Amino acid sequence: MPSDARLLLLDKNHVEALLLPDDVLQAVREAFLLHSQGEGRVFPVVREPLATGGVFGIKSGDVQAQGLLGFKAAGFWPNNRQLGGEPHQATIMLIDPATGRPVCILDGNAVTTMRTGAAGGLGLQQLARADSTRLCLFGTGVQARVQLSFALRLLPALAKVRYVTVDGKRDAAFEAEFAHHCEISPARDRNAAVSESDIVITATPGGGALFEPQSVQPGTHLNCVGADTKGKRELPQGLLERVRLFVDDQEQARQIGETQWAPDTPCIELGDLLTDKARVDRHPTDITVFDMTGLALQDLTVARLLHQRAGAAGIGSSIPWSW
pLDDT tens for each residue of 15-34 = 999 999 999 999 999 999 99
Cα–Cα distance for residue pair 228/154, rounded to 1 Å? 24
Q: What is the pLDDT of residues 36-75, one digit of tens each?
A: 999 999 999 999 999 999 999 999 999 999 999 999 999 9
- Side by side, which strands form the sheet with 267-269? 183-186, 160-164, 134-138, 199-202, 221-224, 288-291, 244-247, 267-269
Q: Quick one: fold of 6-111+297-320?
A: ornithine cyclodeaminase, domain 1 (3.30.1780)
Dmax (CA) of the chain: 66
Q: What is the pLDDT of residues 100-114, one digit of tens each?
A: 999 999 999 999 999
Report the share of the chain in percent with pLDDT over 90: 94
Q: What is the pLDDT of residues 242-263, one digit of tens each?
A: 999 999 999 999 999 999 999 9
Is the pLDDT at 3 greater than 80? The verdict is no
Side-chain-side CA neighbours of residue 160 (13 Å): 10
- Model confidence band, residue 323 (pLDDT cutoffs 50, 70, 90): confident
Cα–Cα distance for residue pair 299/132, rounded to 1 Å? 29
pLDDT for res 5: 87
**DSSP letter at 278?**
S
Is the pLDDT at 12 greater than 70? The verdict is yes
pLDDT for res 322: 86
The residue type at 262:
A
Report the share of the chain in percent with pLDDT over 70: 99
Angle at 167 (CA atoms; ends 47, 187), nearest 5 degrees: 105
DSSP 204-263: S--BS--S-GGGPPTT-EEEE-S--STT-B-SPTTSGGGSEEEES-HHHHHHHSGGGGST
User: Where exactly are the structural domains of the chain?
Assistant: 6-111+297-320, 116-294
Tell me whether domains 6-111+297-320 and 116-294 share a fold.
no
Which runs of consecutive H residues, i.e. helices, occur in 257-317? 270-274, 296-313
The superfamily CATH assigns to domain 116-294 is NAD(P)-binding Rossmann-like Domain (3.40.50.720)
Is the pLDDT at 1 greater than 60? The verdict is no
Q: What pTM was estimated for this model as a whole?
A: 0.94
Lowest mean pLDDT among 85-89, 148-152, 273-277: 85-89
pLDDT for res 4: 78
Cα–Cα distance for residue pair 290/246, rounded to 1 Å? 5
Residues 190-202 have a mean pLDDT of 98
- Model confidence band, residue 145 (pLDDT cutoffs 50, 70, 90): very high
Residues 158-164 have a mean pLDDT of 98
Residues 74-95 have a mean pLDDT of 94
